[in-house]
Amino acid sequence: MGCASSIAARDSRQLGFPNSENDGGHDAKNLRVKLVLLGDSGVGKSCIVLRFVRGQFDPTSKVTVGASFLSQTIALQDSTTVKFEIWDTAGQERYAALAPLYYRGAAVAVVVYDITSPDSFSKAQYWVKELQKHGSPDIVMALVGNKADLNEKREVAVQDGIDYAEKNSMFFIETSAKTADNINELFEDFVDYATSRLPPDILAA
Amino acid sequence: MASSSDLDGNPPPPPPFHFSDDERGSSSATTDIVHTIPHSLTSSWIPRKRNLDEDDASISWRKRKKHFFILSHSGKPIYSRYGDEFKLAGFSATLQAIVSFVENGGDSVKLVRAGKHQVVFLVKGPIYLVCISCTEEPYDSLRGQLELIYGQMLVILTKSINRYFEKNPKFDMTPLLGGTDIVFSSLIHSFSWNPGTFIHAYTCLPLAYATRQVAGAVLQDVADSDVLFATLMCRHMVISLVGAQKTSLHPDDMLLLSNFVMSSESFRQVDLARFYLSDITHKWTSESFSPVCLPRYNPSAFLYAYIHYFDADTYLILLTTSSDVFYHLKDCRIRVEMVLLKSNVLSEVQRSLLDGGMHVDDLPPTPCSGSSHLIHNSLPSDSPERFKEPDLGIAGPAGLWHFIYCSIYLDQYVSSEFSSSINTPQQRKRLYRAYQKLFVSMHDKGVGPHKTQFRRDENFVLLCWVTQDFELYAAFDPLADKALAINTCNRICQWVKDVENEIFLLGGSPLSW
């Protein structure tokens, strides 16, 4: 149980906290963002993460088992560095009961659906409700309509996404992991959005 | 350690040699239709989609030589090796009807023979497993394979699935197994290349003793109250394994766990720059945390597995009972990785993969000293020139093609590389099937257990020797001389003993059950 204290510290649901390894001299903030991706299986959660972290797209994408943990550090324009610690969860039904394991400590959640699949949009709404009920009370959520490149097969209207996101105070964006469209924007803009909504005391650099 | 001294100090008495009646040319040995598979049977097998357009009305489906089905007690299909489960609902209901017809008579169905086909049933509560095969594998082998398939299902879902069926007998289980086809097809594929599936032991990657010690020490170092088992694996082979608190891991659990990990592509996201530049500070890593059940350890509960690939072949599994120790396990992995990189363990592992294991051509010429022997000098031989090695062309000494040696103490086996005489996947598959048959006949509770067996057919000579300490299965050229083959088996045993600290994980093995 020697790890209990370190876990408590990491579970403190902070979007950002001071990073002792500062890059010296610069007036830079270093944020650490714990992010969880949720959504139906096959909507492209892993593809979004891999596009963001590796800049790659794998059309033969593999089913995620359990959850994968990835991290990526980016520099924002105001020279803030943000280290994302990302839980990419499996969308499969058998893992639904285990989701709290991954979203419990998350400060931000990205709920993904596939714009060609109304079912996945309903599933996204299920996850939003689940997070509202059982997630951290401060959690900031984004709603993401992925596979925007398949516009000709679209079955979920952009406006439906926007409306649902607005009603639930969520950030909204449509992305394409395939073409990389809006992927970096998702992470950069969402961090901006999230920082503005979190209590200022935990943003001290 | 204990095992090595026991083997050296107390050689088993030379067992009397029994010859089975099967020492004859077989005329039915070529039932396998030979069709070319373009890649080797083991590592380079590329999982493909099952033929989803097939159903029980398709000729191609009916021609398949080995089917596996999982269905529920209400007849709902859960898994089929070939074809679309949904389209096989009628067929599945028929299988269910057979089971319940026999059950209604107060009995249970195990095997139905229909011409060249065997239909093997295994009932596990509300789950029925069925194999339909015309491969002439023995019933016990096929049943063992069904047991493993059931075990693989438990790895993914645990036995708690039974509760769903108590609530709703018509429960549809297929969504719960979504995306796991590949796990089952990879397991089924391993029935024809992985001896662990019928020997029920595991195998180690050959490594210098010191190298394995380094790996074992760092695993021991991280195995604390939160880590139940720490395993470092290379493909299906163990590099080292440590269990906390005297817990032990059953070889079948090892097999099912490594199959689950290896066949689930999402675990295997390797940053090559990170690997080749040995730069562990490289900016991204991929690691996974997934619930898994070890059926022999506890079929009813999930453990949590932290899984990390160091390179395309080598991976670490840390098993824990606590769902909230991911970050601790991540730290453990970093400690393990630093040691492995500093001590060049990972590059040694890659070199071992390239070199392969025991090559039959390298069998030392004569048995060294007085350890156990397979033969009395008075035993009959089918050749007068019994000690002169005939020239059998491209094969190991005395026409040796391959062997598997299993240490009973250690629950570990070593399987040699194949001689160049067995170079097609079909030949290897045929040999494994022959080994399986041999294994079953040696362990037949009705007429056995046997101690030795010598078989000759048009494909090979097979020699099996079972003692309290080990089991040896060896395959030779079909023209091999019997006395020489026996002599060669003695040499193999000596050889294995000579190199045991490189091919086995020795000392305080947590793997005994």
- Summarised one tens digit per residue, pLDDT across range B474-489 is 999 999 999 999 999 9
A23 located within any domain: no
CA torsion through residues A31, A37, A43, A46, sign: positive
Q: Torsions phi, psi of A62, nearest 5?
A: -100, 150
Q: Are residues B480 and B370 in the same domain?
A: yes
Q: What's this model's pTM, rounded to 2 decimal places?
A: 0.84
Distance CA B436, CA B323 (A): 39
Half-sphere exposure of B494 (CA within 13 A, CB side): 19
Half-sphere exposure of B327 (CA within 13 A, CB side): 19
A3 inside domain:
no
Asked if the Cβ–Cβ distance from B283 to A98 is below 8 Å, we say: no
A80 within some domain: yes
Main-chain dihedrals φ then ψ at residue A37, nearest 5 degrees: -105, 130
Asked whether residue B270 is assigned to any structural domain, the reply reads yes
Nearest CA in chain A to B328: A3
User: Locate tokens 């096959």: which residue?
Assistant: A42
Question: Could you tell me if the ipTM is greater than 0.95?
Answer: no
B266 with A62: Cβ contact below 8 A: yes
Q: Which of B192, B215, B248 is the last residue of a domain?
A: B192
CATH number, domain containing residue B277: 3.30.450.30
CB distance from A1 to chain B under 8 Å?
Answer: yes
- Residues B333 and B268 occupy one common structural domain: yes
Q: Which domain holds residue B135?
A: 59-192
Is the CB of residue B183 less than 8 Å from the CB of residue B70?
A: no
Residue B200 maps to a domain = no
pLDDT at B48: 53
| Residue A180, both tokens | 């990389």
**CA–CA gap between residue B44 and residue B39 (Å, rounded):** 6
**Which of A3, A64, A102 minimises the CB distance to B266?**
A64
For residues B36 and B429, the answer to whether their CB atoms sit within 8 Å is no
For residues B312 and B416, membership in a common domain is answered with no
Rounded distance between C-alpha atoms, residue B186 and residue B502, angstroms: 28
Residues of B in contact with A92 (CB under 8 A): 178-179
Residues 96-115 of A with CB under 8 A from B: 98, 101-102, 104
- Report the pLDDT value the prediction gives residue B349, as an integer from 0 to 100: 96
Using an 8 Å CB-CB cutoff, list chain A residues near B272.
none
Share of chain B above pLDDT 90, in %: 65
**A104 located within any domain:** yes
Q: Is residue B199 part of a domain?
A: no
How many structural domains does chain A have? 1
CA-based nearest distance B354→chain A, Å: 28
Is the CB of residue A69 less than 8 Å away from at least one CB of chain B? yes
Asked if residue A180 lies in contact with residue A54, where contact means CB atoms within 8 angstroms, the answer is no
What per-residue confidence (pLDDT) applies to A98? 85
Please tell me the predicted confidence (pLDDT) of residue B54.
83
Question: B53 in a domain, yes or no?
Answer: no
Which residue among B339, B355, B371 closes a domain? B355
Whether B233 and B296 map to the same domain: the answer is: yes
- Candidates A1, A7, A50; nearest CB to B225: A1
Region for residue A118 given its phi and psi (left: phi exceeds 0; alpha: psi -120 to 50; beta: otherwise): alpha
Q: For residues B275 and B388, state if they share a domain.
A: no
pLDDT of residue B58: 84
Low-confidence stretches of chain A (pLDDT < 50) are: 1-27, 201-205
Residues 6+ apart with CB under 8 A from B180: A63, B156
Domain CATH for A115? 3.40.50.300
Looking at B166, B192, B218, the residue that finishes a domain is B192
Residues of chain A neighbouring B324 (CB-CB closer than 8 A)? 7, 101, 104
One domain, residues B252 and B300: yes
Q: Residue A32: inside a domain, yes or no?
A: yes
Apex A86 CA angle, A11 and B174, nearest 5: 105
- Whether residue A72 and residue B331 make contact (CB cut-off 8 A), yes or no, is no
Instruction: Verify that B246 and B348 share a domain, yes or no.
Output: yes
Q: Is residue A75 part of a domain?
A: yes
Tell if the CB–CB gap between A66 and B265 is shorter than 8 Å.
no
Mean pLDDT, consecutive 10-residue stretches, chain B (513 aa), reads: 37 36 34 33 49 82 92 95 89 94 91 94 96 94 98 96 93 91 95 94 95 94 89 96 80 97 84 48 70 96 95 94 92 95 95 93 70 38 42 66 95 95 91 94 78 92 94 95 93 94 78 43
Three-class HEC string of A57-95: CCCCCCCCCCEEEEEEEEECCCCCEEEEEEEEECCCHHH
User: Which residues in chain A touch residue B225, judged by CB atoms under 8 angstroms apart?
Assistant: 1
pLDDT reported for residue B6: 36
pLDDT confidence of residue A115: 97
Q: Is the residue at B513 inside a domain?
A: no
The residues facing B12 across adjacent strands are none
B321 shares its domain with B402: no
As given in the structure block, the two tokens for residue B233 are 């694996």
Distance (Å, whole) CA B91 – CA B86: 10
Terminal alpha carbon distance of chain A: 30
Rounded Cα distance, B172 and B164, in Å? 9
B37 domain residue, yes or no: no
For residues B319 and B436, membership in a common domain is answered with no
Contact between B176 and A94 using a beta-carbon 8 Å cutoff: yes
What CATH number does residue B445 fall under?
3.30.450
Instruction: Tell me, yes or no, if A66 comes closer than 8 A to chain B by beta carbon.
Output: yes
- Would A12 be classed as within a structural domain? no
- Transcribe B264-318 into DSSP letters: -GGG----HHHHHTT-TTSS--EEEEEEE--TTT-TTS-EEEEEEESSSSEEEEE
B290 contact residues in A (CB cutoff 8 A): 65-67, 90
CB B77 within 8 A of CB B106: no
Cα of first residue to Cα of last residue in chain B, in angstroms, is 17
Helix, strand, or coil (residue B182): helix
Are B368 and B295 part of one and the same domain? no
Kindly state whether residues B95 and B124 are assigned to the same domain. Answer: yes
Chain A to chain B Cβ contacts (< 8 Å)? 91
Mutation site for A-interface testing, chosen from B172, B271, B288 by largest number of A Cβ within 10 Å: B288
Specify whether the CB–CB gap between A131 and B215 falls below 8 A.
no
Q: Which of A43, A94, A95, A98 is the best mutation test for B, with the most CBs of B within 10 A?
A: A94
Q: Name the residue of chain A whose CA is nearest to B329's CA.
A: A3
Q: How far is A53 from chain B (nearest CA, A)?
A: 7
Backbone angles phi, psi at B316, to 5 degrees: -110, 135
Task: Looking at the structure, tell me whether residues B333 and B363 fall in a common domain.
Answer: no
Q: Which of A1, A7, A68 sits opposite B286 (nearest CB)?
A: A68
CATH no. for residue B110? 3.30.450.70
- Nearest CB neighbour to A101, from listed B266, B323, B327: B323
Facing B284 at nearest CB: one of A65, A67, A72:
A72
* Tally of structural domains, chain B: 3
Q: Is A5 on the interface with B (CB under 8 A)?
A: no
For residue B298, the model assigns a pLDDT of 95
Residue A29 main-chain phi, psi, to 5 deg: -100, 140
Cross-strand partners of B276: none
Q: Which domain holds residue A60?
A: 28-197
Nearest to B146 by CA among B133, B159, B129: B129
Helix (H) or strand (E) holding B230: strand B229-234
- Answer whether B285 sits within 8 Å of A70, measured CB to CB: yes
Q: Confirm whether B511 is domain-assigned.
A: no
What is residue B41's predicted lDDT score, i.e. its pLDDT?
37
**Residue B50 located in a structural domain:** no
